């Protein structure tokens, strides 16, 4: 177990997510001539709460974990962002993820600011009851920051609707109020939404369709490569093959599989349910985890952790375009290579906004006390994603820059407008 203060990260080795975020903010700020006072404000997270999370383990020992909740900016509304449990989590990565939420919610046109939090722990080493005690104590420690009008957490890497249920129940027990709208990604019985789990993947599909349309690529029979087969990568592989694409290679932390005719995704899912990894799937050739970058395809989707695509990988991939389902999967150096090679990248702060948009719908319904029709919810999600894509595409065209810079430019402009009109307190 790691102790408080250790400097580690769940990014790929050596990648500093916060430096990469600052570089992106600076670049977009220069492009749009951002007010230097606003720029200064956005280079520093608004507030950071670090908490000790003592947990009584099943064998009677006490373990003390470290947790955080970060609010990067709340000028456009309550902080919004996931809760991550990971053994390598660190504050610089959380700062970057919180800032990404600030711009993501702005690009998606949602009335939220940016937040992120989590606990440095390895959930695979905890029993279910230890995980519950850890979640509840973490919720109690960060509760002063959380609420429908303050900060609305959601699931992220290694957290799920059960963890959101324990988190929301803890808030209710502490306050005596049914604060359903304080947390999203909850079970349906607690004011959650059917379809929340697949919303990020559906949003990625909308972006793949929109990008293919702009680039004149027919998706039927086109090849897709996906890094990661978790909450996002798994449903995404299914949706893409249902749309007639060939998902030719998929990887996870244990290995990768390749089939040039297209993987049978439902059989692959059965294999993963049984073996907890894609590795060894009989309907494909097993390849090493990092060999997926050598597989030619029309679309490549990183759906694992930050910093996965380095400049070296960017030089060798043979793809028509990339759609970032993961947060921060492409390093700034790799971005430059893609720009030189003319390979479009649909950036994370646009491509993976399906999840947070769905969270917005859940929050709105919980505040209304009225559940929407699922078909209307799906149609609204598609509309938000299509509008976001069109806005970013048009901005990239107007400014003659790549889509990431265009997305940051839109995000910065929208956040800056709120900061300026609200003024600086006191």
| Cβ at position 325, least distance to ligand NAD in Å | 5
Nearer to ligand NAD, 158 or 320 (CB): 158
Is 183 one of the binding residues for ligand NAD (CB under 6 A)? no
Helix pair 233-242, 196-215: axis angle to 10 deg: 50
Q: Could you say which residues in the range 296-335 bind ligand NAD, by CB under 6 A?
A: 303-305, 325-327
Mark residues 338-377: x for contact with ligand NAD by CB under 6 A, - for none: --------------x--x----------------------
Nearer to ligand NAD, 143 or 156 (CB): 156
Active site residue 395: no
| Cβ at position 288, least distance to ligand NAD in Å | 10
251 has which bridge partners?
227, 256
Q: Per the structure block, which two tokens stand in for 178?
A: 């049914």
Q: Is 236 in contact with 205 (CB distance < 8 Å)?
A: yes
Is 227 one of the binding residues for ligand NAD (CB under 6 A)? yes
Q: Could you say which residues in the range 251-290 bind ligand NAD, by CB under 6 A?
A: 251-253, 289
Nearer to ligand NAD, 182 or 352 (CB): 352
List, edge to edge, every strand of the sheet that includes 79-86. 47-56, 62-73, 113-120, 79-86, 151-155
Q: Which of 41, 80, 104, 116 is catalytic?
A: 116
Nearer to ligand NAD, 17 or 212 (CB): 17
- How far apart CA 337 and CA 400 sit, in angstroms, is 17
Among 15, 68, 229, 393, binds ligand NAD (CB under 6 A): 229
C-alpha distances (whole Å) from 53 to each of 4, 67, 127 are 10, 7, 16
Among 94, 119, 168, 232, binds ligand NAD (CB under 6 A): 232
C-alpha distances (whole Å) from 140 to each of 10, 18, 132 are 24, 27, 12
Per-residue HEC secondary structure of 219-269 comes to CCCCEEEEECCCCCHHHHHHHHHHCCCEEEEEEECCEEEECCCCCCHHHHH
- How far apart CA 110 and CA 121 sit, in angstroms, is 31
Nearer to ligand NAD, 191 or 233 (CB): 233
Q: Which residue, 268, 322, 262, 335, is CA-closest to 293?
A: 322
| Cβ at position 230, least distance to ligand NAD in Å | 2
What residue number has its CB nearest to ligand NAD?
230
Nearer to ligand NAD, 170 or 327 (CB): 327
Is 123 one of the binding residues for ligand NAD (CB under 6 A)? no
Q: Is 128 in contact with 74 (CB distance < 8 Å)?
A: no
| Cβ at position 30, least distance to ligand NAD in Å | 27
Q: Is 79 in contact with 112 (CB distance < 8 Å)?
A: yes
Among 109, 111, 148, 230, binds ligand NAD (CB under 6 A): 230
Among 157, 165, 205, 265, binds ligand NAD (CB under 6 A): 157
Q: Which stretch binds ligand NAD (CB under 6 A): 40-48, 164-172, 225-233, 257-265?
A: 225-233
Q: Which residue, 122, 111, 97, 118, is CA-closest to 307?
A: 97
| Cβ at position 202, least distance to ligand NAD in Å | 10
Is 200 one of the binding residues for ligand NAD (CB under 6 A)? yes
| Cβ at position 353, least distance to ligand NAD in Å | 8
Q: Which residue, 353, 377, 364, is CA-closest to 191?
A: 364
Is 235 one of the binding residues for ligand NAD (CB under 6 A)? no
- How far apart CA 29 and CA 405 sit, in angstroms, is 10
Q: Is 54 in contact with 125 (CB distance < 8 Å)?
A: no
- How far apart CA 414 and CA 107 sit, in angstroms, is 8
Q: Is 163 in contact with 135 (CB distance < 8 Å)?
A: yes
In a 3-state reduction of DSSP, which class is residue 307?
Answer: coil
Nearer to ligand NAD, 233 or 411 (CB): 233
Binding site for ligand NAD (CB under 6 A): 156-158, 200, 227-233, 251-253, 289, 303-305, 325-327, 352, 355
What are the catalytic residues?
A: 116
């Amino acid at each position: 177990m790691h102790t408080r203060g250790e400097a580690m990260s769940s990014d790929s080795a050596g990648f500093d997510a916060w430096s990469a975020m600052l570089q992106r903010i600076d670049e977009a700020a220069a492009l749009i001539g951002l007010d230097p006072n606003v720029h200064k404000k956005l280079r520093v997270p608004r507030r950071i709460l670090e908490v000790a999370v003592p947990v009584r383990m099943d064998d009677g020992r006490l373990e003390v974990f470290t947790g955080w909740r970060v609010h990067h900016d709340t000028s456009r509304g309550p902080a919004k962002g996931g809760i991550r449990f990971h053994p390598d989590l660190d504050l610089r990565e959380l700062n970057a993820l919180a800032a990404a939420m600030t711009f993501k919610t702005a690009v998606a046109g949602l009335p939220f600011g940016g937040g992120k939090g989590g606990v440095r722990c390895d959930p695979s080493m905890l029993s279910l009851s230890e995980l519950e005690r850890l979640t509840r104590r973490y919720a109690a420690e960060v509760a002063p920051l959380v609420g429908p009008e303050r900060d609305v957490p959601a699931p992220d890497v290694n957290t799920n609707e059960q963890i959101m249920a324990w988190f929301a129940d803890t808030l209710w027990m502490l306050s005596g109020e049914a604060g359903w709208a304080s947390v999203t990604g909850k079970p349906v019985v607690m004011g959650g939404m059917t379809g929340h789990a697949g919303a990020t993947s559906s949003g990625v599909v909308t972006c793949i369709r929109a990008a293919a349309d702009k680039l004149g690529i027919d998706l039927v029979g086109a090849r897709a490569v996906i890094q990661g087969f978790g909450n996002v990568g798994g449903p995404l592989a299914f949706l893409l093959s249902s749309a007639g694409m060939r998902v030719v290679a998929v990887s996870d932390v244990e290995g990768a599989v390749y089939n040039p005719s297209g993987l049978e995704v439902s059989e692959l899912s059965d294999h993963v349910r049984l073996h907890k990894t894609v590795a060894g799937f009989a309907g494909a050739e097993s390849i090493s985890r990092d060999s997926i970058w050598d597989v030619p395809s029309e679309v490549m989707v990183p759906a694992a952790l930050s910093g996965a695509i380095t400049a070296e990988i960017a030089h060798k991939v043979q793809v028509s375009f990339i759609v970032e389902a993961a947060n921060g999967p492409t390093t700034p150096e790799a971005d430059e290579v893609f720009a030189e090679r003319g390979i479009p990248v649909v950036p994370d702060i646009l491509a993976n906004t399906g999840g947070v948009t769905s969270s917005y719908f859940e929050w709105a319904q919980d505040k209304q006390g009225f559940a929407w029709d699922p078909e209307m919810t799906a149609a609204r999600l598609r509309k938000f994603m299509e509008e976001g894509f069109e806005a970013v595409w048009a901005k990239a065209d107007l400014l003659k820059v790549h889509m990431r810079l265009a997305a940051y430019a839109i995000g910065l402009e929208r956040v800056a407008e709120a900061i300026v009109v609200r003024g600086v307190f006191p």
